[in-house]
Structure 1
């Protein structure tokens, strides 16, 4: 670091009222967990991730004994884990301090000595893992591209390599076929599918829908000998389902009468699909009968499904929350009975406010936003924070968020904008940012901003823009290109200098950026310059807080320092918070510390 940057202020408390202070912290500390995942042939052996220890880590659950065990214990947490199909082993990804670069290790399900999971596979960024009884396939990505390996009969061999993005997707139940996703055609944002024989890893079948139409292989049928592969396609301008019978080389497109987009997984007998439907910030569950085409709702409450799968007995286990209600893990039996499956230890999170929909006409079409008002808010314009989601291929949802709730407690209205680039609104909406990323999204944010001010919701002198990752990038771009709109900006793990970011980021993101920008910084330099926040740093006049992790492979630290050095030369008001982790933190105390810094910074900025 060449310049000493003003450090962020970390307040001891945000609120003078002790109850309010305790409430917002309790939402972050409240124990949460993911939907359990189980071993394919030993469904009593389960894994989930939880923050119960104060750090997101992997836990095992033996349903026969009801024993829960914390598997991992690392300073910066662990998120990625799975089991061997026989339930004997737990595999988890071992990176360094949150940098996402590492290798898979394994240990016995009941606990014991850890060991490298696959010999003779070099470290890298994970690019898929499929574990069978006889064969393991694993993908690794580095600056040199993608390499896929197989391990069988005690030997490891490389069966695929490419300078382009590729990954292991699904292994058939009989372990005779392996599906991979690849981007040999040069566009990692719209991949193709190849199915290989695991005998000699020769290509058995290939499917690519052409330019701008991606295919996402989800999973093979769970029935041995059934070589049907479930695939997401976008032939009609949105993500839909098809079933590809690889053995017969036939496919069936499933045209579901649902708005928005869908994903799915198999029921255990492969006679039906569990469909997850996403539309306008909310998700729901359906059962689709393959023989009859009948689609039936599982009648989940309005909100967000955070994960769902089907047990061998047909029970659907899922995570659900809404903006007002904290997440819960539920089980819906085949007879329709719906009960709470698991409750983490400790006090549940205090609730928060509902969100309502706003639909605003923007330059590229109707923009959907989620709007929340503080409880007991006074009439008239409010201080308002525009929280911009990451991705960019993601979406804000009607889900519980301790982060949204603390801004509401601080007296801000909160507006979450599903700008062009967001998922769930069709392929054209998602891909509209190609060739002009960042600036396109901010046109939609500006339209929602204007609506919020004109409707009397937002005080135009007290509007804050914030976000993390892609949302952090948009925040820095917003305060530079729309300086008249924003009273403050809060950017967490952002892209700040896109050319330097491209040079330092992980290879998968370089491939993504090449497809998004239409080339590299060398081939389309004008696009990178136009869409980079550092280009507009001299126009910034709002105070800005930047937060960044030392080990971030997605938004690396050097390019953030470049931006801050430019701010320092202007004597512009800013603060910097730097921490020892990667692309965000899995440590709850650290998340609370950063959140306190963000809200405090915004409140102080609005007082000036």
Structure 2
């Protein structure tokens, strides 16, 4: 066994000329979608890896000035601009443990200061900033449940909401008089209700599609109308079997349903003048943008390339900025006006753009619960190939036709990569997502097995060279799959996994406990047989494939103790495995650390798959 603890991966000292493409993709400059102050749209905030660690950056569009806002060993991504653009709020945790406090810094620079004095550290559950300096802060702790506090300048925080079930701040109305709270008081953590309250905590209205938990329909807050005196809240609902928007007047209760005739899930946001909605349409692992005019219901498609839009915002001039990529082409922030919005200078390695990769092809396979959609990338040449089944996390998430440096690296090394949107994934309708109940983990693995059988039968995958891999929930499914399907996999690579479900439940953050109770129908004490059936630890003695595990020692989502329990059982058996422990939380924001982890995974697979090692050595892009 290998056991290591480090805070950052060390640079390998490669020159750009000798650096392989797969490493360039990680080290290439990346920026997130710039988000601007509502009342000062020339002031923006974005994330970038320009220094080798993802941090927050301020951008004054009027002057072109950019500056780095945060600088922490393990990176920073959680930041919000005040409506007037004067302050940058960012969340300060400890080494990636997600437990901390909000601090703020002047837009043009200056010392950080506590943003909400009087509030003890907690997990963040939403933040909304008002035009008069008021802040509404959602938070949760392991013992105190969820709470919402109002913080006014110079005053002590006032608690306006508390419940043992998970809840969070959705939005604050434009005039600062109403707060929308998403909550799960009915006990179903997968389907939220919405309560609108005044700043003193008194209830204005309630919207709940769950019917006390008997009907599994959820709601989401998309945002209040961007005008004073307009109490309409843009709400996501699932009443017709998918996510779509409607308007709800939080004072009168009037609902306005929108005629958006598109087949997939719909997300939405307001145009700044309140006359139209920006619709983000997700369907079959790809997305596109539309404008919906509220006056006449006209729906107009906005020109975007085929691929995935990872975020979009409408500017005051009516243009839309969006972050786009495809599996073959790296991400870029574009505008519907036809230009690139934001480019990051070359990194210290001299890389100004990530090398492209190969496109994905779509596969639909008959599974036990219906058609299963998978995305496939493969190297040049004829199969069968050594094949990595790269399983996404979430579980309520989905793989899409978007740029991902990890899968591209495996392709460079001669592997085919298959990504499966199993039952529980989003983007295929409510029934597909909600199918993940009680037989947790086993359901997803049935769908993965169906795609695996197709991959072998089609000649894509060599059945002797199958790698099961994933992070977070994907890491959990990897360990569970190695134990419940021991003859199917040659190697397992699990990053930040759930390994011992019972211990993970007792050690994880409270919001995830609520999710586990929803998925499994109770606590480990109430439904022990379900936790046992869904726990990788139950099947550890059946594992045959060599196992590689990486874990963050400060991870609040998949805590380290339960990983160590699983590792101890492997050690007791003398089973071949390696463990890499790093000083961060649920993953890393440090580029070199990400490269190091993938390098270790590839090397582990190559050692245990001799044919794959030969293919990687022969690959001209490796």
Short-chain TM bin:
over 0.9
Matching residue of 1:176:
177
Instruction: Verify: 1:224 aligned to 2:228, yes or no.
Output: yes
- Residues of 2 paired with 1:131 and 1:453: CA distance? 53
**How big is the shift at 1:24?**
1.4
Residue aligned with 1:329, SS:
strand
- Residues of 2 paired with 1:430 and 1:20: CA distance? 44
Contact 1:11 1:596 in 2 (8 A): no
- Residues of 1 paired with 2:567 and 2:489: CA distance? 19
Match of 2:383 among 364, 380, 384: 380
Matching residue of 2:567:
564
- For residues 439-462 of structure 1, give each alpha carbon's deviation from its aligned partner in whole angstroms, at most 9, with x where no partner exists: 000000000000000001100000
- For residues 544-564 of structure 1, give each alpha carbon's deviation from its aligned partner in whole angstroms, at most 9, with x where no partner exists: 100000000000000000000
Q: CA 1:230–1:167 in 2, change beyond 3 Å: closer, same or farther?
A: same
Instruction: Verify: 1:369 aligned to 2:400, yes or no.
Output: no
- For residues 516-542 of structure 1, give each alpha carbon's deviation from its aligned partner in whole angstroms, at most 9, with x where no partner exists: 111110111100000000000000000
- Residues of 2 paired with 1:17 and 1:74: CA distance? 26
Residue aligned with 2:563, SS:
helix
Match of 1:285 among 266, 285, 289: 289
Residues 169-318 of structure 1 aligned to structure 2 (within 5 Å): 169-198=170-199, 200-210=200-210, 211-318=215-322
- Residues of 1 paired with 2:161 and 2:36: CA distance? 29
- Residues of 1 paired with 2:259 and 2:30: CA distance? 36
Matching residue of 1:430:
433
Matching residue of 1:138:
137
Instruction: Verify: 1:321 aligned to 2:321, yes or no.
Output: no
Contact 1:241 1:255 in 2 (8 A): no
RMSD: 1.8
**How big is the shift at 1:67?**
0.4
- For residues 403-432 of structure 1, give each alpha carbon's deviation from its aligned partner in whole angstroms, at most 9, with x where no partner exists: 111100110000000000000001110011
Residues 103-114 of structure 1 aligned to structure 2 (within 5 Å): 103-114=101-112
Matching residue of 2:161:
160
**How big is the shift at 1:343?**
1.1
Matching residue of 1:533:
536
- Residues of 2 paired with 1:469 and 1:51: CA distance? 22
Match of 2:58 among 57, 60, 71: 60
- For residues 165-212 of structure 1, give each alpha carbon's deviation from its aligned partner in whole angstroms, at most 9, with x where no partner exists: 0111111101111100111111121010000122x3210000101231
- Residues of 2 paired with 1:253 and 1:243: CA distance? 7
Residue aligned with 1:236, SS:
coil
User: Which stretches in structure 1 are left out of the alignment for 5+ residues?
Assistant: none
**How big is the shift at 1:133?**
2.0
Matching residue of 2:513:
510
**How big is the shift at 1:20?**
7.6
- For residues 551-599 of structure 1, give each alpha carbon's deviation from its aligned partner in whole angstroms, at most 9, with x where no partner exists: 0000000000000000001111100000000000000000000010011
**How big is the shift at 1:7?**
6.4
User: Which stretches in structure 2 are left out of the alignment for 5+ residues?
Assistant: 347-351, 612-622
**How big is the shift at 1:12?**
11
Contact 1:11 1:597 in 2 (8 A): no
**How big is the shift at 1:132?**
0.4
Contact 1:13 1:596 in 2 (8 A): no
Bigger Cα displacement from structure 2, 441-450 vs 248-257: 248-257
- For residues 278-336 of structure 1, give each alpha carbon's deviation from its aligned partner in whole angstroms, at most 9, with x where no partner exists: 11110110001111111111121110101100111111001110011011111113xxx
Q: CA 1:17–1:265 in 2, change beyond 3 Å: closer, same or farther?
A: closer
Residue aligned with 1:273, SS:
strand
**How big is the shift at 1:120?**
1.3
Instruction: Verify: 1:357 aligned to 2:357, yes or no.
Output: no
Matching residue of 2:616:
none
Q: CA 1:95–1:126 in 2, change beyond 3 Å: closer, same or farther?
A: same
Bigger Cα displacement from structure 2, 586-595 vs 217-226: 217-226
Matching residue of 2:453:
450
Q: CA 1:17–1:417 in 2, change beyond 3 Å: closer, same or farther?
A: farther
Q: CA 1:104–1:6 in 2, change beyond 3 Å: closer, same or farther?
A: closer
**How big is the shift at 1:152?**
2.3
- Residues of 1 paired with 2:67 and 2:493: CA distance? 38
Aligned residue pairs, count: 596
Normalising by the residue count of structure 2, what TM-score does the alignment of the two structures yield? 0.94
